Amino acid sequence: MMYSEKVMDHFNNPRNVGEIEDASGVGTVGNAKCGDIMRMYLDIDPETKVIRECKFKTFGCGAAVATSSMATELVKGKTIYEALQVTNKAVMEALDGLPPVKVHCSLLAEEAIHAALWDYAKKEGLEIPGLEEPKADISEEPV
């Protein structure tokens, strides 16, 4: 299996690892097959709806670490509406690709962002056009 230099960089030196206290939105998702779990924290400016800070914790494979790291970098500075453009494809492109068996890892990153945005929208009574309710809320799982 071959990983790009960018994947290796984000795996060895992941950006934005950790938690945000009193986060605006938190989303936790998992993949039942591989058992990997990812949690995203968003700090959102209440006025401008810009994502000021994004942190993650991943209990998962190296590609899951690299994709969540890249996803946090891509959503930072975007509005909650623009953040929907950070799809798994966008994350993979930014990482110069992933091996086919690792594509689901990047999907986990997209789902985690969506789950955190959904959590925020629900709390604020907002609608984010194009955002769908996450399939499963596994926020009770330990990460």
Q: How far apart are CA 1 and CA 30, in angstroms?
A: 23
Smallest distance, Å, CB 34 to ligand FES?
3
Letters for 30-69 (x = contact with ligand FES by CB under 6 A, - = none) are: -x--x-x-----------------------xx-xx-----
Letters for 102-141 (x = contact with ligand FES by CB under 6 A, - = none) are: x-xx--x---------------------------------
Closest-by-Cβ residue to ligand FES is 34
- Phi and psi, residue 72, nearest 5°: -65, -40
- Is 105 marked active-site? yes
Smallest distance, Å, CB 49 to ligand FES?
29
How far the first Cα of the chain sits from its last, in Å, is 27
Smallest distance, Å, CB 29 to ligand FES?
10
Q: Is residue 51 a contact partner of residue 77, using CB atoms and an 8 Å limit?
A: yes
Q: Is residue 113 a contact partner of residue 83, using CB atoms and an 8 Å limit?
A: yes
- Is 34 marked active-site? yes
What lies within 8 Å, CB to CB, of 47 at 6+ separation is none
| Closest by CA position to 130, among listed 117, 143, 142 | 117
Smallest distance, Å, CB 14 to ligand FES?
14
For residue 48 the two structure tokens come to 């401008």
> Which residues are catalytically annotated?
34, 105
Residues at the site binding ligand FES, with contacts judged by CB under 6 A: 31, 34, 36, 60-61, 63-64, 102, 104-105, 108
